Amino acid sequence: MTSAHPATDPRIYLKEVATLRDAGYDVTLIAPADPAPPREDHKVELLPRYTSRLARWSGAWTGALAATRRVDPDVIHFHDPELLPLSLLWRLHGRKVIYDAHESLSKDVAHKDYLAPWQSRLIAPMIAKSERAIASRMTHVVTATPAIADQWRFDTTVVANYPILDEWATIDSSRASFLARPRRGCYVGGIHPERCTETVIEAAGIMNATRDYSVVMAGPCSDSTAPSGRGIEYVGVLSRPEVAELTGTSLFGLAIFRPSPNVVEALPTKVLEYMAAGVPVIVSSSLRVGSQLVTEVGCGIVVPHDSPQELAAAMMRLADYPALAWEMGSRGKEAVLERYSWASEGQRLVETYRRYVGPPGNGSRIE
């Protein structure tokens, strides 16, 4: 169940739901209606989309309660902190409940732009205590990173959001194919100030002023304004095959983030997906874990998050020297194949279910 993520969310739908179904569990997905998963998937309950936070929170509770009555599951696996209060009610009614924590809630609250600093300092510790108290009463807690698990002293399981390698297997990452690619890079993900959109736009302009190179950006916009500027091409929201096509015809991928506590400890999936596609990564130093990985593997370039000039220089270096870019991308692809596949994480998820829920075929219905 998710009240905030789209029904097509890769971690939830493409990875966890699909993996549990393949293992024999009877899984129904409850998620917002837009965008909906494939129509042929009949085990989906859709929630309305809400335009305001208050409407979403109140609507999520009523929608989630109604959905659980309809589905009547044995196990509820939920992904959103706003559903934590309901999880206690589900536990009281004898259901097994798994909380899937994608990030540190208290750190996220401490950096919300709609809260004044004094409000953040007051609310964040209260949020941390409340989340810890509720999460400790769940059947089990799954986290996306070790840093999230380390904030709690009770038992958790890390199921990292590593890429599904099959999505990237069709890309021709041979040296000859790579050297023939157009002189462009890509960014795939949310178009948002926290992802340093303005820095990317300015850097692309600097690059395009002296070279006929570009950056293709794809993903949902946080407001109605699509990114634009010299050397920028915005292509909207792409399907998963279209993401692979764009990434697999680019010379580099961008992962530039503003610093925040959750960002520092995160390893964004896009970094690993670029690597899986055999594309070198230009990553900001604000991503401590991600930049350390890129440096260790030698699969990209680390730049400050707030320097368009240094970002432009890194992009031009890789586009000017595609043979160098190919070598970096090849090292990244090899590292992902060896260490960062969803196959191992999916197996860990199934093993967690067998331990805390029971084996498939025992009547366990999950949402």
The mean pLDDT value of the chain amounts to 90
Nearest of 311, 96, 352 to residue 204 by alpha carbon: 311
Q: What is the mean pLDDT of residues 267-281?
A: 96
Q: Is residue 307 helix, strand or coil? A: coil
> Is residue 143 helix, strand or coil?
strand
Mean pLDDT of the 206-234 span:
93
CATH architecture of the domain 10-162+342-366 equals: 3-Layer(aba) Sandwich (3.40)
pLDDT at 51: 65
- For the cut 90, the answer to whether the pLDDT of residue 263 exceeds it is no
Instruction: Confirm if 227 and 217 have CB atoms less than 8 A apart.
Output: yes
Task: Give the tens place of pLDDT for each residue, 63-106.
Answer: 888 888 999 999 999 999 989 999 999 999 999 999 999 987 65
Is pLDDT at 236 greater than 60 in this prediction?
yes
User: From the centroid of its chain, how far is CA 234?
Assistant: 20
Res. 40: pLDDT tops 90: no
Say what the pLDDT of residue 111 is. 60
42 pLDDT exceeds 70?
A: yes
How far apart, in whole angstroms, are the C-alpha atoms of residue 96 and residue 143?
17
CATH of domain 165-339: 3.40.50.2000
Q: What is the mean pLDDT of residues 251-266?
A: 86
The amino acid occupying position 191 is I
**Cis peptide upstream of residue 220 (ω within 30 degrees of 0):** no
The answer to whether residue 251 scores a pLDDT higher than 90 is yes
Predicted structure pTM score? 0.89
**What mean pLDDT is predicted for residues 277-287?**
97
3-state secondary structure of 207: helix
What pLDDT shows up at residue 107?
A: 62
**pLDDT the model gives residue 121:** 66
> 106-159: per-residue pLDDT in tens?
566 546 565 566 566 667 678 788 889 999 999 999 999 998 999 898 999 999
CA distances from 194 to 191, 246, 262, 286, 305 (A): 8, 23, 12, 11, 10
From CA 87, how far away is CA 95, in angstroms rounded?
9
Residues 6+ apart with CB under 8 A from 88: 134, 137
pLDDT, greater one: 263 or 184: 184
Nearest to 349 by CA among 195, 143, 192, 146: 143
**DSSP β-bridge partners for residue 47:** 32
Q: With bands split at pLDDT 50, 70 and 90, how would you rate the model's confidence at 266?
A: confident
The candidate with the shortest Cα–Cα distance to 148, out of 214, 64, 224, 79, is 79
Q: Do domains 10-162+342-366 and 165-339 have the same CATH topology?
A: yes
Q: By CB neighbour count within 10 A (0-12 exposed, 13-18 middle, 19+ buried), where does 212 fall?
A: exposed
**What is the DSSP code (8-state) at residue 344?**
H
pLDDT value at 237 more than 70: yes
E strand or H helix at 40, and its extent? none
Q: Is the per-residue pLDDT at 286 higher than 80?
A: yes
Per-residue pLDDT tens digits for 297-352: 999 999 999 999 999 999 999 999 999 999 999 999 999 999 999 999 999 999 99
Question: Which of 331, 179, 174, 171 has the alpha carbon at shortest distance from 247?
Answer: 171
Q: Which two tokens stand for residue 73?
A: 């599951």
Q: Which of 116-125, 202-211, 358-367 has the lowest mean pLDDT?
A: 116-125
Give the residue extent of every domain in the chain.
10-162+342-366, 165-339
Which has the closest alpha carbon to 204: 327, 319, 328? 319
Whether the pLDDT of residue 264 is over 80: the answer is no
Question: What totals of helices (H) and strands (E) does the chain contain, helices first?
Answer: 15, 14
Q: Which amino acid is at 111?
A: H
